[in-house]
Amino acid sequence: MAIKWFDEAAEIFSRRIARNTSRRGFLGGLGTMMIGVGATTLLPVFRSGAFAQTSPGLVESGDPNSCDYWRYCAIDGFLCGCCGGTVNSCPPGTVRSDITWIGTCRNPSDGKDYVISYNDCCGKSNCGRCVCQRDQGDTPLYRPQSSNDLNWCSGSLADMPYHCSLSVVIGVKE
């Protein structure tokens, strides 16, 4: 009995879908979904494992807590290394923002250009130490992907309270 009821319900449901959709519409929807899936990979979203640990092959020199350090060419904020974190890890108790702005900085040690993700660390008051503003490639708010004037904690799980900024090397320009 129960099975019969289930069969009838499935039939009604299938017929309703068939009446309200077309093959072209279905293909259009599928295409939109696939484009969406593809586009997601273009967004500057942190993907677990993509970074957050120092790249083993990366040769660097200089003081990571100095504003002159090569990774900071497009940063604007407090350096997390001066706040209980490091250049690529947030201080204890803060929340790393997953959505960031991007800069491209030249590493003087090997002369190569690297893509830097400036993740903010969020959920506490401003660190207030080692403030650093360098605007290489900085863009206004209407081109947010490379704007360091925005509060990128806005997209974090801790919401918008801003603490400090990381500089994570996520790619190399070949």
Partner 1 sequence: MTPDANRTVTPGQVAADTLRIDWNPGRLGRSKPRNCVFMLKRSLQLLLCGLTFSCAVSPVFAGFVPEQAGVEVLGDHRDRNWFWIWGSNAPNMVDGRAYLFDDNGRSLGLLSTGMWSNGLVLSHRRDEIYASEIYFSRGVRGKRTDVVTVYDARTLSPKHEIEIPSRRMSALISSGLSVLSDDERFLLVVNFTPAQSVSIVDLENRRFVSEVATPGCASVYPAGPRDFYAICGNGGFFHLRLDDQGQVVLQERTVPAFDPLQDLLLTTGSRVGDTWYFVSQKNNAYALKMTTEGVVPVHHWPLVSDAERADGWGIAGNHGTALHERSGRLFVLMHKDKPENYQKPGTEVWVFDLKTRQRMKRIELNEQSTAIGVSQGEQPRLYSLDWVVPMPKLFTLWIYLTQGDAGLMPLLRQGINLYDADNGQHLRSVGDIPLGFMNVVMPW
- Rounded to the nearest angstrom, the gap between the alpha carbon of residue 145 and the centroid of all alpha carbons in its chain is 10
Q: How far is the CB of 63 from partner 1 (least distance, A)?
A: 10
Q: Which lies closer to partner 1 via its Cβ, residue 54 or residue 144?
A: 144
Q: Does 121 bind partner 1 (CB under 8 A)?
A: no
* 91 DSSP assignment: P
Q: List, edge to edge, every strand of the sheet that includes 101-107.
A: 101-107, 112-118, 168-173
Q: Which residue, 109, 118, 117, is CA-closest to 58?
A: 109
Q: Are 165 and 75 in contact (CB under 8 A)?
A: yes
Binding mask 33-72 for partner 1 (x = CB under 8 A): ---------------------------------xx-----
Q: Which residue, 30, 33, 34, is CA-closest to 22?
A: 30
Q: Are 145 and 44 in contact (CB under 8 A)?
A: yes
Annotated catalytic residue, options 63, 76, 110, 120: 120
Which helix (H) or strand (E) segment holds residue 165: the answer is strand 162-165
Residue 120 is among the residues annotated as catalytic for this protein: yes
Q: Which lies closer to partner 1 via its Cβ, residue 11 or residue 159?
A: 159
Binding mask 126-165 for partner 1 (x = CB under 8 A): xxx--x-xxxxxxxxxxxx---xxxxx-xx--xxxxx---
Q: Does 120 bind partner 1 (CB under 8 A)?
A: no
Residue 159 is among the residues annotated as catalytic for this protein: no
Q: Which residue, 123, 129, 111, 113, is CA-closest to 170?
A: 113
| Binding residues with partner 1: total (CB under 8 A) | 36
Q: Which lies closer to partner 1 via its Cβ, residue 14 or residue 126?
A: 126
Provide the binding-site residues for partner 1, judged by CB under 8 A.
66-67, 76, 78, 99, 123-128, 131, 133-144, 148-152, 154-155, 158-162
> Looking at the annotation, which residues are catalytic?
101, 120
